[in-house]
Amino acid sequence: MKSDLAVIFNFIISQWSFTPQAFKEAIINAALAKFVLSACWWATRFMVDKFPKSATVSVISGLLNTRPAKLVVLVLDVTLIDAFLFFAVVSMLDLRAQFSYFSAWSTALFSFLLVYMLMITHADIKKY
């Protein structure tokens, strides 16, 4: 069963132009970019609420409310949805093949993250 999963995994990875290492780095970079962008967005909202008359904060807020900035957020959301969907399916296959607590927890975690990212993306699409 493990060799079958390895063949399927390698086939899926070979369909992308990424190597497995590049795929992992792309997911980490997307998650990091999403985190940094979210932190900037939150900090800007906080600063606008605290200092509504500040010109600098208003300019930064205006830049983050543009369609290109919102499109970047959507692309990052979809990237993370793809990653969480892939890992949720792989962990579910692992759970089905051989039950372990690690498989159960990873299945629950990636399934939760997938649903959470779908909800976040839905909210971001409404903003776009």
Length of the chain: 128
Residue 18 DSSP SS3: coil
**Quick one: tokens of 103?**
């498989």
Mean residue pLDDT across the chain: 76
Range of the structural domain that residue 86 is part of: 2-127
Sign of CA dihedral 104, 92, 80, 116: negative
Whole-structure pTM over 0.85, yes or no? no
In the block, tokens 């909800």 appear at: 119
Q: For 80-89, what is the mean pLDDT?
A: 77
Name the range with the highest mean pLDDT among 9-13, 16-20, 33-37, 105-109: 105-109
Coil, helix or strand for 65?
A: coil
Count of the separate structural domains present in the chain: 1
Query: 20-24, 107-111, 119-123: which range is least confident on average?
Result: 20-24
From the centroid of its chain, how far is CA 24? 12
Q: Which of 42, 32, 45, 111 is nearest to 76 (CA)?
A: 32
